[in-house]
Amino acid sequence: MKISVIGCGYLGAVHASAMAELGHEVVGIDVDEEKIGQLRAGKAPFFEPGLTEVLSSALASGRLTFTTDIAHAAGAQVHFVAVGTPQARDSQAADLSYVDAAVTSLLPHLGAGDLVVGKSTVPVGTAARLAGVVAEHAPDAMLAWNPEFLREGFAVRDTIDPDRLVYGVADDRATAMLDEVYAQTISNGTPRVVTDYATAELVKVAANAFLATKISFINAMAEIAEVTGADVTQLADAIGHDTRIGRRFLNAGVGFGGGCLPKDIRAFVARAEELGRGESVAFLKEVDAINMRRRDRVADLAIEALGGSPFGHKVAVLGVTFKPHSDDVRDSPALDVAVRLKGLGADVVVTDPEGLDNARGRHPQLLYTEMTEEALRFADLAVLVTEWPEYTALDPKAVAGLMRTPRIIDARNVLDPAAWREAGFAYSGLGRN
Ligand code: UGA
């Protein structure tokens, strides 16, 4: 099929490349000239494992092109809208201006029978509103909502081989067109749920709200473990053996961040309140509060470890992205902790395999190094905040030899406390005895 993908960020760049890889003829469109220049040159504008390979192969096939000119969407039959919906500057709600602008700019280029497919995460009710906009300006075109569930770090795999496909449609022709787009994925056995707009929109936010709730649940247990001497990691293992509960997303630590979970639960609460059903998801405010308290907890542990005052002490922050295998520092708990400790007067040195440029752009006041050893050398405290494999594999004896004082806060509960204590470390985890 001929496909356009509007928005070439973390979602759209992967989607465009993956669709071309699946055999479609794809044009990726973005207003950011620098990003489009990089993509055209086969260079992923952000770190995502496997993206460079799929991008190069799709470009070489001749089936993938990139442009800043929305007029090149003309001729495609399916138009994916994959722009961001960040938190609004002045409220907890989602900022829909990019989605609205993308759809509006597309309208003059829509042909009869074209399908506009929303991929962005939006408040329930958006698809119905945009379907009205499309119907008014291009009466022969259709709209569908097809939420995306990819995880950063696994985005290529999740796009080509997702857990499920969800179509929010108002027309059987839209379903048939999406089936053609995803023919290969469907033939691989991926389940597909065909539903209305509102359900499709809600599936996405409900899934992220559930994941956020699961993380905050275990972090709440960590808070209780901290005052009782229990160990939250063993607790998670034990309850996780119950297949109804499951062990995944029960890793207690500094909590969730990124461009999705935090803003999605806030936007969900804001939308529910608009709908007069705020009480139904009021618990998500507590989920958010528990999550933010974990960052306070890590900062408090650091202050405590440094004898009450971090001033003048060197602190090595290991990891700055919101999770490993990504360069994304949006709402990163690690960056937040680093900034807080810097604000308390510590000499904070941040290291990370992929996230330094993004972090430096946001917080130039911090010191950054690519070398883990350099961050740790003569440090009074190390804080492991993002569980990159290179940090979880660190040898405690070697680290002890580098630091001025062997103290570590394991803010992701990924280290073996016994091994670190044996190497002379004052070790603290979160919710771990
Ligand atoms: C999340 C969802 O998992 C995706 O399904 C969804 O498509 C995406 O948001 C989105 O809406 O676009 P992502 O933001 O890439 O994906 O990251 P996750 O893997 O969900 O992790 C989110 C945060 O939770 C990270 O900061 C991670 O460190 C934290 N986390 C995760 C925990 O603190 N504990 C856990 O047990 C699991």
In SS3 terms, 375-400 reads as: HHCCCCEEEECCCCHHHHCCCHHHHH
- pLDDT beyond 90 at 421: yes
- Looking at ligand 1, which atom is closest to the CA of residue 387? 28
* Contact between residue 49 and residue 153 where contact means Cβ atoms under 8 Å apart: yes
Q: Which atom of ligand 1 is nearest to the CA of 248?
A: 36
Kindly list the structural domains of the chain, giving each domain's residue range(s) and its CATH number in brackets, ordered by start: 2-195 (3.40.50.720), 196-433 (3.40.50.720)
Distance CA 322, CA 259 (A): 9
Q: What is the mean pLDDT of the chain?
A: 97
Q: Separation of 385 CA from ligand 1 center, angstroms?
A: 15
CA distance 312 to 63: 56
Distance from the alpha carbon of residue 335 to the mean position of ligand 1, in angstroms: 16
Judge if pTM exceeds 0.75: yes
Query: Helix, strand or coil for residue 87?
Result: strand
Residue 151 CA to ligand 1 center (angstroms) comes to 7
What Cα–Cα distance (Å) separates residue 90 from each residue in 83, 94, 407, 425? Answer: 20, 10, 40, 44
Nearest CA to ligand 1 atom 2: 151
Of 165, 260, 320, 402, the active-site residue reads 260
Asked if residue 321 lies in contact with residue 389, where contact means CB atoms within 8 angstroms, the answer is no
User: pLDDT tens digits, residue range 78-93?
Assistant: 999 999 999 999 999 9
Take atom 1 of ligand 1 and give the residue whose Cα is closest: 151
Tell me the CA–centroid distance for residue 223 and ligand 1, in Å.
Answer: 21
Ligand 1 atom 21 nearest Cα: 256
How far is Cα 319 from Cα 412, in angstroms, rounded to an integer? 11
Residue 175 has, within 13 A of its CA and on its CB side, a CA count of: 12
Question: Ligand 1 center to residue 125 CA distance, Å?
Answer: 24
Q: So what's the pLDDT on residue 26?
A: 98
Q: Determine the residue of 83, 151, 337 to mutate for testing ligand 1's pocket, defined as the one with the most ligand atoms within 8 A of the Cβ atom.
A: 151
Residue nearest ligand 1's atom 34 by CA: 251
CA 336 to centroid of ligand 1, rounded, Å: 17
Residues flanking ligand 1, CB < 6 Å: 121, 148-152, 208, 211, 215, 249-251, 253, 255-258, 260-261, 322-323
Reference 7, options 87, 133, 103, 146; nearest CA is 103
Over residues 406-417, the pLDDT tens digits come to 999 999 999 999
Cα 200 from chain centre: 20
Ligand 1 atom closest to Cα of 121? 11
% residues pLDDT > 90 (the chain)? 100
Residue 331 clears pLDDT 90, i.e. is over it: yes
Instruction: Look at residue 51 and tell me whether its pLDDT is greater than 90.
Output: yes
The residue type found at 18 is: A
Pocket test for ligand 1, best of 260, 263, 329 (most atoms within 8 A of CB): 260
What would the pLDDT profile of 206-234 be if each residue is shown by its tens digit?
999 999 999 999 999 999 999 999 999 99
Q: Whose CA is nearest to atom 23 of ligand 1?
A: 256
Q: Which two tokens stand for residue 92?
A: 């907890």
Task: Give me the pLDDT at residue 316, please.
Answer: 98
Verify whether residue 8 is a known catalytic residue. Answer: no
Predicted pLDDT of residue 189: 96
Q: What percentage of the chain has pLDDT greater than the value 70?
A: 100
pLDDT bucket at 38, cuts 50 / 70 / 90: very high
* 282 has pLDDT over 80: yes
In this predicted structure, what is the pLDDT of residue 433?
77
Residue pair 206/281 in contact by the 8 Å Cβ criterion: no
- Ligand 1 atom closest to 257 (CA): 26
3-class DSSP assignment, residue 29: strand
